[in-house]
Amino acid sequence: MNTTSSALEAVTAADIRIGTGRSRRFVGADHGAAISYFYVENQPGEGPGLHWHPYPETWVVLEGTAGITVGDETIVASAGDTATGPAFVPHCFTNVGEGMLRIIGIHASATIIQTFLSDD
C-alpha cells in the first residue's frame, strides 16, 4: 500500500521549538511521518538524563562532540558520526566538547515515547 500526502508541508523551526532555545521536537504523527526526532543544541556538559524508548533511536552529530551512552557502553562521536541504540536499552548523550553540540535524535516511531530513569 502506497500512501502519500496530497500537499507538501514545510514545518518551520518556530512551530516545533522547545522552550526559548533553538532545540526542536518533531512528532511525525502530527505531520503524516512515520518517524519523529529531536534537534538539540547543548552547551558543554549538557545533555538529557538516562532514559529509554520502546523503539530504536539513531543519533546524527551535526556539530561538536557527544559522549553517547547506551547500556554499559559509552562512545565519543564527532560531527558527521552516526550511532544507534536499540529499543528498551537506557541511553543518554552529553556534550563532551568545548563548543556547541548540535545533534539529531531520530526516533523510529511516529510518536515520541520516552521513560526517564530518574526525576533529575
Q: For residue 1, what pLDDT is reported?
A: 45
> CB pairs under 8 A, 24+ apart, for 22-26?
25/112
- Report if residue 88 sits inside a domain: yes
**Per-residue confidence of the chain (120 residues) as pLDDT tens digits?**
445 555 788 999 999 999 988 999 999 999 999 999 999 999 999 999 999 999 999 999 999 999 999 999 999 999 999 999 999 999 999 999 999 999 999 999 999 999 999 865
- Report if residue 61 sits inside a domain: yes
CB neighbour list of residue 65: distance below 8 Å, 6 or more residues apart: 76, 77, 78, 79, 95, 96, 97, 101
- Report if residue 63 sits inside a domain: yes
Q: What is the CATH number of the domain that holds 75?
A: 2.60.120.10
Domain range for 41: 16-111
- Report if residue 11 sits inside a domain: no
Q: For residue 7, what pLDDT is reported?
A: 75
Structural domain total, the chain = 1
What letters, b where the CB count within 10 A reaches 16 and e where it falls short, cover 88-117?
eebbbbbbbbeeebbbbbbbbbbebeeeee
